[in-house]
């Protein structure tokens, strides 16, 4: 069966995603749509509006055939590592094509990846600028182009992963439709996920921009997941943990542990804490990821170990997705998981399990242990 792969967060699933789905099928003539989707925390380190099971069900109801989780040690990463992890799983699932949105789909992303080989170490020596800023300065010197849009940055990451890992995937960037990534106003039936999240937060009208099921899920939200709600846990962790322990946290570097610990001791609000920690050296996304790693106590050694042991955690499927899994299961080399028992909880799935327990700050639903995949009957054409 010919399969097309999508790399997704679906935070939340909206009409733009449904358009992306239809374009992926039309462009590749695929029989099956496979989505690798972030779990309960986004690439930027933020909690998702809806849990991974709700988002998987919305995806399956609207045209995806199989949803597999992108583990937290791949999902909550800088764009290039996020992209590489997602493509690794799609390749393992036997996907032939990958379709993704870009602001500039006609750019020669392979040429941009090649240009990176000419970058110099001295070009990353500024401590008053983020890595992304310094990267773009060198890229512009080499090519005349800058990667500033999140979708273009991810597109670059997909091509880089494909080339470096020699993945047998055909990549298809397509033009994004509708609102810009960071737009916070809903105008028409296709809006950015940022605009929809803002409308949910402000109790505004978002129904025109999402499918019926997503609207129903969002209307039932009792609490909007946020860093404001998680900050007391982070603050306690920073205050109670010695610096010698904090320095072991994944991506904790350049004395950030001292800055975070001091800010936590002086600020009761998350906004105040963020302001105290932020410098020109770090993006907000980088800091949010480190905050999440800190709450979860994810160490460099734990993440390194798990990156060497990827797996395929199936979140849901319809009849076509089930048939596809059956057809490939003998060829799949990674562990294919449909239900998490205590052994998996304590070993292979431990980091995702811990992330799921943290997400239960916002929901009573068990996120991993003994949770069966979502099954949607019938196939949406």
Give the residue from 95, 128, 148 where a domain finishes: 148
pLDDT digits (tens, 9 = 90+) for 352-375: 999 999 999 999 999 999 899 999
Is pLDDT at 381 greater than 80 in this prediction?
no
Work out the mean pLDDT of the chain and round it to a whole number: 93
Round to whole Å and give the CA distance between 196 and 177.
Answer: 15
Is pLDDT at 268 greater than 90 in this prediction?
yes
State what percent of residues in the chain have pLDDT above 90. 84
Main-chain phi, psi angles of 102, to 5 degrees: -145, 155
Per-residue model confidence (pLDDT) at position 123 = 78
Regarding whether 231 and 204 lie in a shared domain, the answer is no
Residue 121 within a domain: yes
Regarding whether 188 and 99 lie in a shared domain, the answer is yes
Confidence of residue 379 (pLDDT cuts 50, 70, 90): low
pLDDT digits (tens, 9 = 90+) for 43-102: 999 999 999 999 999 999 999 999 999 999 999 999 999 999 999 999 999 999 999 999
Regarding whether 174 and 160 lie in a shared domain, the answer is yes
Per-residue model confidence (pLDDT) at position 58 = 96
Instruction: Please tell me the total count of domains within the chain.
Output: 3
Regarding whether 205 and 89 lie in a shared domain, the answer is yes
167: CATH: 3.40.50.620
Bigger pLDDT: 338 or 178?
A: 338
- Do residues 93 and 3 make contact, with C-beta atoms less than 8 angstroms apart? yes
Give the residue from 276, 304, 332 where a domain finishes: 304
Regarding whether 140 and 238 lie in a shared domain, the answer is no
Regarding whether 82 and 16 lie in a shared domain, the answer is yes
Per-residue model confidence (pLDDT) at position 62 = 95
Span 296-324, average pLDDT? 97
Per-residue model confidence (pLDDT) at position 219 = 92
Is pLDDT at 179 greater than 90 in this prediction?
no
Residue 39 within a domain: yes
Per-residue model confidence (pLDDT) at position 299 = 97
Residue 381 within a domain: no
pTM attached to this predicted model: 0.94
Regarding whether 352 and 237 lie in a shared domain, the answer is no
Regarding whether 320 and 197 lie in a shared domain, the answer is yes
SS (H, E, C) the chain: CCEEEEEECCCCCCHHHHHHHHHHHHHHCCCEEEEEEECCECCCCCECCCCHHHHHHHHHHCCCCEEEEECHHHHCCCHHHHHHHHHHHHHHCCCCEEEEEECCCCCCHHHHHHHHHHCCHHHHCCCCCCHHHHHHHHHHHHHCCCCCCHHHHHHHHHHHHHHHHCCCCEEEEEECCCCCCCCCCCCCCCCCHHHHHHHHHCCCCCHHHCCHHHHHHHHCCCCCCCHHHHHHHHHHHHHHCCHHHHCCECCCCCCHHHHHHHHHHHCCCHHHHHHHHCCCCCCHHHHHHHHHHHHHCCEHHHHHHHHCCCCEEEEEEEHHHHHHHHHHCCCCCCCEECCECHHHHHCCCHHHHHHHHHHCCCCCCCCCECCCCEEECCCCC
pLDDT digits (tens, 9 = 90+) for 11-60: 999 999 999 999 999 999 999 999 999 999 999 999 999 999 999 999 99
Confidence of residue 178 (pLDDT cuts 50, 70, 90): low
Regarding whether 236 and 214 lie in a shared domain, the answer is no
Regarding whether 243 and 216 lie in a shared domain, the answer is no
Annotated binding-site residue numbers for ATP: 7-20, 101, 151, 176
Is pLDDT at 263 greater than 90 in this prediction?
yes
Regarding whether 251 and 142 lie in a shared domain, the answer is no
Per-residue model confidence (pLDDT) at position 189 = 87
Is pLDDT at 180 greater than 90 in this prediction?
no
Per-residue model confidence (pLDDT) at position 380 = 52
Q: Which two tokens stand for residue 265?
A: 């001791």
Residues 6+ apart with CB under 8 A from 70: 7, 36, 37, 38, 39, 82, 85, 86, 89
Regarding whether 113 and 68 lie in a shared domain, the answer is no
Annotated binding-site residue numbers: 7-20, 101, 151, 176
Residue 66 within a domain: yes
Give the residue from 148, 179, 205 where a domain finishes: 148
Is pLDDT at 246 greater than 70 in this prediction?
yes
Residue 261 within a domain: yes
Give the range of the structural domain holding residue 237, as residue numbers without chain letter.
227-304
């Amino acid at each position: 069966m010919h399969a097309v792969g999508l790399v997704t967060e679906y935070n939340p699933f909206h009409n733009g995603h449904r358009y992306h789905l239809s374009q992926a099928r039309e462009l590749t003539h695929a029989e099956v749509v496979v989505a690798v989707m972030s779990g309960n925390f986004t690439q930027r380190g933020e909690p998702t509006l809806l849990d991974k099971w709700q988002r998987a069900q919305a995806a399956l109801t609207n045209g995806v055939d199989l949803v597999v989780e992108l583990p937290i040690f791949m999902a909550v990463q800088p764009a290039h590592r996020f992209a590489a992890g997602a493509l690794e799983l799609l390749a393992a699932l036997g996907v032939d094509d990958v379709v993704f949105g870009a602001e500039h789909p006609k750019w020669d992303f392979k040429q941009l990846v090649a240009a990176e080989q000419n970058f110099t170490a001295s070009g990353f020596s500024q401590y008053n600028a983020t890595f992304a800023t310094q990267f773009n300065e060198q890229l512009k010197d080499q090519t005349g182009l800058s990667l500033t849009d999140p979708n273009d940055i991810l597109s670059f990451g997909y091509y880089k992963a494909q080339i470096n890992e020699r993945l047998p995937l055909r990549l298809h960037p397509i033009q994004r439709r509708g609102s810009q990534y960071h737009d916070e106003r809903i105008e028409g039936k296709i809006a950015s996920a940022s605009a929809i999240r803002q409308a949910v937060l402000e109790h505004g009208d978002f129904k025109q921009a999402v499918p019926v099921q997503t609207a129903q899920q969002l209307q039932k939200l009792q609490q909007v997941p946020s860093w404001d709600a998680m900050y007391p846990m982070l603050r306690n962790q920073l205050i109670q943990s010695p610096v010698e322990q904090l320095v072991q946290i994944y991506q904790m570097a350049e004395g950030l542990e001292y800055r975070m610990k001091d800010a936590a001791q002086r600020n009761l609000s998350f906004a105040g804490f963020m302001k105290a920690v932020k410098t020109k050296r770090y993006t907000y996304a980088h800091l949010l990821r480190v905050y999440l790693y800190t709450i979860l106590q994810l160490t460099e050694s734990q993440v390194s170990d798990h990156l060497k042991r990827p797996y395929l955690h199936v979140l849901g499927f319809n009849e076509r997705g089930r048939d596809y899994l059956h057809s490939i299961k003998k060829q799949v080399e990674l562990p294919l998981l449909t239900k998490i028992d205590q052994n998996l909880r304590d070993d292979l799935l431990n980091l995702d399990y811990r992330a799921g327990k943290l997400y239960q700050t916002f929901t009573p639903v068990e996120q991993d242990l003994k949770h069966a995949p979502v099954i949607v009957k019938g196939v949406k054409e």
